[in-house]
Structure formats: structure tokens, C-alpha cells
Amino acid sequence: MVKTAFLYAGQGAQVVGMGKDLAEAYPEARALFDRANAALGYDLAQICFEGPEAELTKTENAQPGIFLVSWVAQELLQSQVSNLKSDATAGLSLGEFTALTAAGVMSFEDGLNVVRQRGRFMQEACEATEGGMAAIIGLDEAATREVCMEAEVELANLNCPGQLVISGTGAGIEKACELAKERGAKRALPLPVAGAYHSRLMESACPKLEAALREVELNLPAVPVISNVTAQPHATAGEILQRLVEQVTSSVRWEASIRYLIDDGFTRFIELGPGNALTGFMRRIDRGLEIHNVADVPSLEKTVAALNE
């Protein structure tokens, strides 16, 4: 029996037009976009479909937009592949909320609203601090941690072998990029983001997110959901709340999360949502795994065909 994990996209995957062809091709997808608009009280679908890019890129729109397109991709895939279910879920940063919602921890509406609020709280933290992020390519974790200590920045994402992301003040990121290149990094690239995600500069968002989560009914997950913070399955509802708050300022341990699933016997992984960044990470973690992604009509049709063979 093949063990299947659903993986959900994180912030940065947003692109103007995401979900539009799915909504045009499938009435059930259009209905989900309408349901989201009703839950939020504004036209998120229009922002996803038409932009403008500056509006979609705002954290408070990008996060619920990616959540929504990921959900639509999941629902369409499961409607077209009989008996397809996830035996575990995981999501990159924002995607962890989608993964938890998919596992029944929150309702669709609650998940969408919490993600919208999380985006707003993080946007406020970005505006209150002068922060940034950079991708460090081709330098190992130990050397990158040394660079972070010297530059007084933090390791934000451990995505896959050879691809780490750092986060901190603008001056700290600039210094860290110079140090990383001196230590042998192939590239050290500042990222086009609004602030220093997954660092202490996001601390002001934590109590606000905790308060928002306390307004939501959290259930035990129906399948294991891997925590970004611990790279282990979530346990109690109280622990889920605590980990989601910690996640805002903690490193995203993505490679370790995937390796946990591989060690547990998972061989099929399906990325759901805009882009295919997680598919790229998967190939660098273990090329021998079965990996699919659903982001639009062509990728949906390709994945459906593969899974129905």
C-alpha cells in the first residue's frame, strides 16, 4: 500500500492569475472561490485572478490567496482520482495552516480567516522593522549557522540540501551575504520579501496570532500533520496552537519534515497550490520518490492521469 503525503505551498508561490484557469474550467472550483469571498467579505478571487501584483503580494492577500488555491487544487484532485486520500500532510510556513485544515483541525472558513489575520499581523511586523531575507546556495548548515552568528541574523528555512534561507535586519543580511560568499557559498541572494520572516523581528505578530487562534475551535488531526518547528507530528490541540505561534519566529525545518515522512515509509508526495517550489525541494532531498504537483489545469490533468493509471 503506497503511503501518500499532501504538501501545501508557502508564501512566495503567489502569482497573478493563480487559480483562474481552474475556476473557469470547473464550476466546483468557482464555487470555492465564491465561498472564500463570502467568508472574508472581500473579493480575494479577483485579486488572485487579476492582481494587480502589488496587491496580491501584500502578505494579508498572498497568504489567504495561496491557502485558497491550494485548497481548490486538493478538492479538484480528490474529486477526479477515486479513493485518493492523504496519509499525512505538511506545509511550508503558511502551508502548515492549509495542511492542518486539510486534516480537519480547523474548518475551511476558520483556516482562511486565521491565515488572513496572520498575514496582516506579519505585515504589521514587517512595517515596524527594517528586515529582509536571503537565500544561501551551496553552503552547508553548520557554516551557514556560523555566518548567521557573526552577522547577527537567523536561519529561517532549511529547505533542502544546498538551499537555506536567512532572515534578519537589512544590514545583517548584507553582511551575512558577504560572509557566505567568502566561506564558499555559490550564491547569496537577497529575496524580494516584505520583511524578516521566521526571525525575532516578527515577535510582535505572535501574541496577536495566539489571540486569533484562541477564537477558533481546534480539533485533533485526522492524519499526522508535520510541524515546521519540530519536524514531528502535531499532538494535542493545545500543542498545535503553541507551535503555530512559535512558527512565526522559528526556523522552518522543511528538509527534516520530509525526511521524517520518508523514514515513516512515505513514497508518494503531492504538492498542492501555486508554483512547484516544494517539488524542486523534494527532488534535491530524494530523487527516487514519486512526486506530483497540482497548480493549474495542465498540472491537474497530468497528475490525474498519472494517479489513475
Give the active site residues: 93, 198
**Checking DSSP bridges between strand 163-169 and strand 88-91, what pairing results, if any?**
unpaired
* 131 phi and psi angles, rounded to 5 deg: -125, 165
Q: What residue type is 290 in one-letter code?
A: E
Q: How far apart are CA 158 and CA 190, in angstroms?
A: 16
Handedness of CA 71, 76, 81, 83 (dihedral sign): positive
Where on the phi/psi map is residue 199: left (φ > 0), alpha (ψ -120 to 50), or beta? Answer: beta
What is the rounded distance in angstroms from the CA atom of residue 153 to the CA atom of residue 136? 13
Find out whether 75 and 32 touch, Cβ atoms under 8 Å: yes
* Number of CB atoms found within 10 A of residue 142's CB: 7
- Give dist(CA 270, CA 98) in Å, integer: 14
Q: What is the C-alpha to C-alpha distance for residues 170 and 134, in angstroms, rounded to an integer?
A: 10
Element (H, E) at 169: strand 163-169
Provide the 10 A C-beta neighbour count for residue 22: 23
Q: Helix, strand or coil for residue 249?
A: coil
